[in-house]
Amino acid sequence: MRVVEINKRPTSLTMAHVKPHTQLANQKTDLDKNDRPAADKDARWKSIVKRDRKADGAFFYSVKTTGVYCRPSCAARLAKPENVQYHATCEDAEREGFRPCKRCKPDQASLTDQHAATIARVCKLIEVSDAVPSLEELAAEAGLSVYHFHRLFKSNTGLTPREYADAHRSKRMRDELGRASTVTEAIFEAGFNSSGRFYEKTDAVLGMTPSAFRKGGENLDIRFAIGKCSLGLIMVAQTDKGICAIFISDDRAEMHSELQRRFPKANLIGDDKGFKQVVEQVVAFVEAPALGLNLPLDVRGTAFQQRVWQALRKIPAGTTVSYSDIANMIGAPKAVRAVGTACGANHIAVAIPCHRVLRTDGDLGGYRWGLERKRKLLDREASK
């Protein structure tokens, strides 16, 4: 009997069979990458991918396949870059036939702007109210839950609603003490419900008794002396609680005038031989900040300024941070400009190291005692 063998078709392809096809596919992918349009390399596209809220308002983008235009931060499904067009304004997008996205509503105020307007309205309410509204009342005014409102308020102002109210009343108190006929009248005009509640905070609010504040620091003893350091002349002033000022300048009279402006009727005591030792200690610290300053500081400011200054003192010598970093450190990421203002209000040079704060792009930014001194301080700290 004759047996006929039948060749069976292989059930699987060997690598020899597939390799040419795989290579062709890989070559096609490489061609696609090389021929791909530059749309996905555009900085605006990167903002869209990141859904960056900071880019909102800078431009808008439309999607050819859907016929809508959006903000860069829109949470809608990401389009293909080759289907995206960019527009300077909503009007530009609509002229080309695109309609606003129903999700991000680019033709309306952004959520960030809406929140800012809401917080501004609540701040005004706090300022005009005789008594501080409760957190629940403020949240209701904002149309938000208590938790969301509290978080949003702090993010926008850098303060809690209570801290904002206290800071505003403190400012009113300082103003009223200069106008009212009595301290008691000033206390109630400033919005404090009782003199007892005010006196609990008087030291933090004024840095002295109310009567002394009204008299420009009358009967307050402030010892001071001027020395020399590598940055120029340096004035150190101290109350009985600690150092209240460190000024750096090339003008002796200017520093003396600045101290007098701060405490117009205080007893300014100069040429104290014992105090010169304190000045020498401060000068040594300025020349070598890494050694630290083992002297108490008499620092007073608003609640927000206090938080900024405390954060500054945590920055080690030889390290720099941005204003945004400080804002994040104090839990107020949107209060970058307010952080810069607080740095500018610092009157204790080097000991509260605002010179270690730079702009986000690495630029020196500002410095109360001159940018050249800021540069010298940073260079000196970086080399040690």
Show the 3-state SS of 308-322. Answer: HHHHHCCCCCCCCEE
Q: Please state the φ and ψ torsions of residue 155, each to the nearest 5 degrees.
A: -65, -35
Predicted confidence at residue 274, as pLDDT, reads 76
Given a cut of 50, is residue 196 above it in pLDDT?
no
Q: Which of 304, 215, 324, 305 is nearest to 264 (CA)?
A: 215
Predicted confidence at residue 11, as pLDDT, reads 45
How many CA atoms, within 13 angstroms, populate the side-chain half-sphere of residue 178?
8
Domains identified in the chain and CATH numbers: 39-100 (3.40.10.10), 109-214 (1.10.10.60), 221-272 (3.30.160.70), 303-382 (1.10.10.10)
Is there a catalytic annotation at residue 70? yes
pLDDT tens-digit map of 56-65: 888 999 999 9
> CA-to-CA distance for 212 and 108, rounded, in angstroms?
52
Highest mean pLDDT range out of 78-87, 102-111, 153-162, 360-369?
Answer: 78-87
Summarize the confidence of residues 14-28 as an average pLDDT: 44
Return the C-alpha torsion angle 145, 148, 152, 154, nearest 10: 100
Given a cut of 50, is residue 225 above it in pLDDT?
yes
Could you tell me if 357 and 367 are in contact, meaning their C-beta atoms sit under 8 angstroms apart?
no
Catalytic site residue from 101, 123, 244, 354: 354
Taking each helix axis as running N to C, give the angle between helix 161-179 and helix 111-128, from 0 to 180 degrees, rounded to the nearest 10: 40
DSSP tag of 249: E
Summarize the confidence of residues 15-20 as an average pLDDT: 43
CA-based torsion, 44, 48, 50, 55: positive or negative? positive
pLDDT tens-digit map of 268-319: 888 777 788 888 889 998 888 877 788 888 876 777 888 899 899 999 888 9
